[in-house]
Amino acid sequence: MAMEEADLFVIGGGSGGVRAARMAAGAGAKVVLAEAGALGGTCVNLGCVPKKLFSYAAAFGGDIADAAGYGWRTGPAEFDWPTLKRAKDEEIARLNGIYAANLERAGVKIVRAKARLAGPGQVEAGGKAWACKDVLVATGGRPAKPPIPGYAEHAAVSDDLFGLERLPATAAVAGAGYIAVEFACILAGLGVATTLVHRGPTVLKNFDVSIQEALLAAMRELGVTLLLEREVAALRPRPDGGVAASFAGGAPDLEVELFVAATGRRPNTEGLGLEEAGVELKPNGAVVVNDEYASSVPGVHAVGDVIDRVALTPVAIAEAMRFCALKYGSYGPPVDYDLIPTAVFTHPNISTVGLSEQEARKRFPDCETCMSEFTPMRFALSAHKEKALVKLVFEKNKGRVLGAHMVGPDAGELMQGIAVALAKGATKEDFDAMVGIHPTTAEEFVSLR
């Protein structure tokens, strides 16, 4: 097999891999990127982007109903799943094309095949081989099903929801993380009778406890049936094509058309030749890396979900930029894993940055909090009185703000600016001194006392 040469071979064409490839090429490196699937990875194809499009779609039904209180008169609203699915597919195809064009414009060679390490400094892909100075593994993750009888055969995963030919009348979502609560809200908002099943007592366990409580109340208001502290013992098929879930402890079975397992993800490292090359992996398959994203094998690096630190697209991009900064001298500050803003696109939205109250009290026992729960003006004239919540966690005596949390409309849009303030060390006193923008939900953050 003829051997070609590259300065950097990127395995994986998701957000982290694409960003690293473009930046390295821009710094003058000869870069090859291999991706067997669609460019953009999980985020563009089976994650953030289509999920938020579905979230918007699910919210419009409530918006139409709310408009009646403001004088709008409309006929009965009808939702058409094929129209949404077709429009989503067209938008994703457009984004795939943009990713390819940007890589080609940067001078990156794209190989449409799965790649694997073939030896020290060697990668094979698409029937060709490359001798590489460096390899960057950025293959992301995939949904994982728990080892419960019937899950492998009868449970769908989040990836499957984007390709459904029709919406079911009834569905259950098992899990309590981002993906589980988001899809439970999406399905309910689109008119599906939805049940969320979780073996624990709450959802989003790593979020502030006030966020957890507010979300549970909002999901019930949305019509989601919550089966908490229920452990699924097995799934079995029903004669009508649906699924029946039985529970440990003898609780009544749950019968639905669609059962979705949203109980975790696993790094994509199988078949890459990593173990054979001596790359150290965690028990779940994640690549072990140091602060410079270098693995145990010289010249092999990894970023993004495949290292299983913080599985968020912007984090993968930040890690890729830092890798390029260390390797090629381009821009990329160190990643601050303690101060990562994030949003959850439930109904209503959630956003947070910094420490939850429970985490803050472990580190700063005398920290203080202030919180407000209210009905945003957006719902003042509608029959639906959705609640919003804003909360700050800060050091004693109006010291440094340690965490900011919100449940409410456009929470993610609002939290980005607050995240900048926290990154710069803003204090509660700074928030108190700021003039609010009235009348907005945002002003509540500077009105908390």
Q: How far is CA 98 from CA 28, 38, 48, 101, 333, in A?
A: 22, 12, 17, 5, 26
305 annotated binding-site participant:
yes
177 annotated binding-site participant:
yes
Longest dimension (CA), the chain: 72
What is the secondary structure of 97-126 as a DSSP string? Answer: HHHHHHHHHHTPEEE-S-EEEEETTEEEET
How many CB atoms are located within 10 Å of the residue 300 CB? 26
340 annotated binding-site participant:
no
Q: SS3 for 238?
A: coil
438 as an active site residue: the answer is yes
Phi-psi group of 86: left, alpha or beta (phi > 0 → left; psi -120 to 50 → alpha; rest → beta): alpha
CA 29, CA 21: separation in Å to the nearest integer? 9
Q: How far is CA 327 from the centre of its chain?
A: 28
182 annotated binding-site participant:
yes
CA 15, CA 42: separation in Å to the nearest integer? 8
Q: How far is CA 236 from the centre of its chain?
A: 29
52 annotated binding-site participant:
yes
264 annotated binding-site participant:
yes
> In sequence order, which ranges of 107-250 are alpha helices (DSSP H)?
151-154, 158-161, 178-189, 209-222
How many CB atoms are located within 10 Å of the residue 430 CB? 15
What's the DSSP call for residue 304? G
CA 281, CA 289: separation in Å to the nearest integer? 9
Pull the structure tokens for residue 256: 């639905």
Residue pointed to by tokens 């094509």 = 241
CA contacts within 13 A on the Cβ side of 129: 10
181 annotated binding-site participant:
yes
218 annotated binding-site participant:
no
Is 35 within 8 Å of 110 (Cβ atoms)?
Answer: yes
Report CA torsion sign: 44, 48, 51, 52. Answer: negative
Q: Give me the amino acid identity at 19.
A: R
Set 198, 384, 405, 438: catalytic member: 438
163 annotated binding-site participant:
no
Identify which of 199, 196, 255 has the alpha carbon closest to the alpha carbon of residue 220: 196
What residues are annotated to the active site? 438
Annotated binding site for NAD(+): 175-182, 264, 305
Annotated binding site: 52, 175-182, 264, 305
Annotated binding site for FAD: 52
